Amino acid sequence: MGTKKISEETLESINLAVTPAGYRVLVADEPTEEVTKGGIMLPNSAMDLARGTCVLGTVVSLGDLAYSREDMQEYDDWVDPGDTVTFSKYAGIRFRVHGNPVRILNDDEIQAVIKDRSALQ
């Protein structure tokens, strides 16, 4: 069990439909595999337990003011569209775009950029 990378076509479709405002970031939640390698369907409670309290997503787009506040301007390592990021399970406002789960997060709700997906288990 794990998450699947979101296709470029899906990200582009979401990007064309929604633009985050101000200091917010639009993130597409990465879908969780609901079936084990052995073919067993997992209930939502098991998937939530396996994912823990953080969630992975792919940055779709940034609002015009994201990471522009004075306390953030001295750093260059903020997120870019296409980055895989992690954030709290309950962060942001969740909804669906073309059937895909997305959320709008405040720029400071993103906890980390995942640079090596193969390191995640």
Residue 3, in any domain of the structure: no
On average, the pLDDT of the chain sits at: 84
Residues 78/67, Cβ–Cβ less than 8 Å? yes
* Domain encompassing residue 105: 8-119
Rg of the Cα atoms in the chain: 15
* Total of domains in the chain: 1
What one-character-per-residue DSSP string does 77-121 give?
----TT-EEEEETT-SEEEEETTEEEEEEEGGGEEEEES-GGG--
Order across the sheet with 54-62: list the strands: 93-97, 100-106, 24-29, 54-62, 84-88, 110-114
User: Can you give the CATH number for the domain in which 106 is found?
Assistant: 2.30.33.40
Q: Which residues pair with 41 in a beta bridge?
A: 35
Per-residue pLDDT, averaged over 85-93, amounts to: 92
Q: What is the pLDDT of residues 14-60, one digit of tens each?
A: 999 999 999 999 999 987 666 666 777 666 555 555 555 568 899 99
Using alpha carbons, select from 60, 113, 62, 121 the residue that is nearest to residue 85.
113
Residue 23 belongs to a domain: yes
Q: Are 99 and 13 in contact (CB under 8 A)?
A: no
pLDDT bracket for residue 70 (50, 70, 90):
confident
Note whether residue 97 is domain-resident: yes
pLDDT band with cut points at 50, 70 and 90 for residue 1: very low
- pLDDT for 3 equals 60
Residue pair 85/54 in contact by the 8 Å Cβ criterion: no
SS (H, E, C) 2-42: CECCCCHHHHHHHHHHCCCCCCEEEEEECCECCECCCCCEC
- 1 located within any domain: no
